Structure 1
Amino acid sequence: MESLLTVQVYDWDLIGMDDLIGETKIDLENRFYSRHRATCGIAQKYDLHGYNAWRDPMKPTLILSKLCKDGKVDGPHYQPNQVRVENRIFKAPPLDMDDDDNGSRRATEEHLALAVLNHWEEIPKVGCKLVPEHVETRPLYNPEKPGIEQGKLELWVDMFPMDMPAPGPAVDISPRKPKSYELRCIIWNTDDVVLEDDAFFTGEKMSDIYVKGWIKGQEDIQCTDIHYRSLTGEGNFNWRFIFPFDYLVAEEKIVISRKETLFSWDETESKVPARLNLQVWDADHFSADDFLGSLTIDMNRFPRGAKSSKLCTLDMLKTDGSVPLMSLFKQKRVKGWWPFYIKNEGTDEYELTGKVEAELHLLTSEEAEKHPAGPARSEPDPLDKPNRPDSSFIWFLNPLKSLRYIIWHNYKWVIIKIIIVLLLAALLALFFYSMPGYTVKKLFNT
């Protein structure tokens, strides 16, 4: 005979008693006898299939007939595409109409009855707002802390009479399961990257370029190798990043499951936007690396890459609707040039700091297993080594190359002139040294 439904939320403990967080009490008797029909919410649409299928064992026509009978209301009287209750005429929305045998659109009696139920408060005298289908949000309270809310609970409560037909199967409200994907990002080349350092011997502007990439966070960062001594901002890499991730299509979010601490019992699930982050850096051997620019690609909405480095500009990053966007989850594979940039602190404007030629290839986990590829340039499906200039090397690890490509390349004519001058000086010194003796010897011989 108890009419209160109590729902309690606990804090589970591995050792000891579980702790009560809070509870909520629902008066079922009040709902059962309510004139607003709070036993099962009235849906906005009458669907027989799908996630929003009609779950009340009483169909709309039966509910409407019972309400009219209990309230002694004239009706319902069904006519093509409309129904009359008392002196009111109701029509079903166009979306609730089906094709009949003649190919014309007409509403069924269930759709017409549901249209009346959603506007039952318009019926004179007996009409009232029927409880719509919704998810309740109820506060939780702890008896030991009266009046202090301990959180909220989302739920719905349906009550079905035992003398009526059994309701349909329970609605599956388990969380959506993410789908596994693998993103393969190939960094082919860079161009016009800003030159940050001065060459040690020559003072030329140069940068030791490499690219970072990640999707989910700091633990996911991958880096290319370093293109040393780039004098023009051009970098050659042929380097593949591989990022596996779980993705919720409906929410357009990447799902990350991990334990917060070493002693956590269960994994904590978090959701982050589906974004690929790329950065270009200048490697330094005796100090911290220098950040040169970044690029963030929203895999659901991002501009198509330019066909060449010359066509790659900051205009590609405009968000005013003038640049058409694409989705990697639909396109699956795309290649092009995208700009690296930094944001000026004073003006909040973007400054172009380089360009990257990249190829993005999105595969499901099943496709990735059928067509495997190795990270960087390794097997399977290896990438060719980049065709870098001979001057790309670490100067202090290659002294012979340093002499050839740095000193000789830049000071070749100066060195030749110095050698010629030294040879001439040596000849003159030898001439003046041997001239007196040769002269005396010549005199005595004569």
Structure 2
Amino acid sequence: MSELLNDLQFRGLIHQMTDEAGLQKVLNEEKIKLYSGFDPTADSLHIGHLLPILTLRRFQLNGHHPIALVGGATGLIGDPSGKKAERTLNTSEIVEGWSNRIKDQLSRFLDFKASENRAVLANNFDWIGNMNVIPFLRDVGKSFGVNYMLAKESVSARIESGISFTEFSYMILQSYDFLNLYQKEGCKLQIGGSDQWGNITAGMELIRKTEEEAKAFGLTIPLVTKADGTKFGKTEGGAIWLDSEKTSPYEFYQFWINTDDRDVIKYLKYFTFLTHDEINNLESEVKNAPEKRNAQKALAEEMTKLVHGESALEQAINISNALFSGEIRSLTASEVKVGFKDVPSYTVSEKEISLVDLLVQAKISPSKRQAREDITNGAVYINGERNQHLDYVLSSEDRIEEEFTIIRRGKKKYFLIEYSN
């Protein structure tokens, strides 16, 4: 087996593969072109997209030529795979804008400037957008039997709930992408999530019917799951996005560092570029010293650095350490804004305010009597430091860079105090 396929097997990244022997032979003999598609269904990719992106990167690091295909055309149609209902159709302007944002994100992971095995960025709107319906139906549609399409999981799963002709045609359009890239670019391999198996094999079938002595292959990556049964990539705040404006590097870091012991080694294999030995050593640590959480730290650091860069990783670690140690004063105002963006906030207009009044006005304590009791009992912290003075008055000295004060009540209830000019 080729070194690359060996690595993919070790990492558990191969779910299904067509003609394993044939693909091994091709990978051993030449540097191939391969592609994966990314439909612009939002203004950012999320961590569910990372696995195919990073798999393309693994191929590129082994000398192969990845093609990242942005679905400017298929994004206007909607992929029924894994969906229980029709997608909402977006306007061409929205899809075009989202396509451009996704192109920028893909450039973080793939090298589009390499001298020898440069990655290629493509948009299927370039060949589907101006296609005429009659030639398409005669030249492409003729190759697809309705019974063949109905048997595919992406379609059959939607028969009872309903599927429009628009989404029914998605498989044909994706198949045409593979054919077009095969003919124009010499692309021999398509990779994608396990839900794309039907679309990938349909594309291979179209190539087989269209081209003599065709050599095309498909490989799918497993669906990422969590041991506790909850959906990977989701938190109470929603999806974990690759855009730092939608999911801050600190939130991104926290997502990974909170990984369950049962999942952490799997995720290290899936998502990081650590060596087999490094991962095996971390696996031993999970078994022998799980309380140290070294595997989770390695995962969070590798992923945050990969997606957001070294400085963003440093900021995420600073915020995490400050919250863990209670040393809130060590944070900058910008770090406070990131670390406490989802906690309740209250704006103070006075230059000075008594602690009791602040607790009541900001609804941290329900009454003055409760506020005094909280202070006396040592349940109130100002910027990480316990304060038990009933007559305490907050002033500029309690502000972080004149912008914020962090009040904590009890062990985990944080409140962000802001100041108006």
When the two structures are superposed, what TM-score results if normalisation uses the length of structure 1? 0.22
When the two structures are superposed, what TM-score results if normalisation uses the length of structure 2? 0.23
From the two aligned structures, give the one with the greater strand fraction. 1
Q: Which one has a bigger Cα radius of gyration?
A: 1
From the two aligned structures, give the one with the greater helix fraction. 2
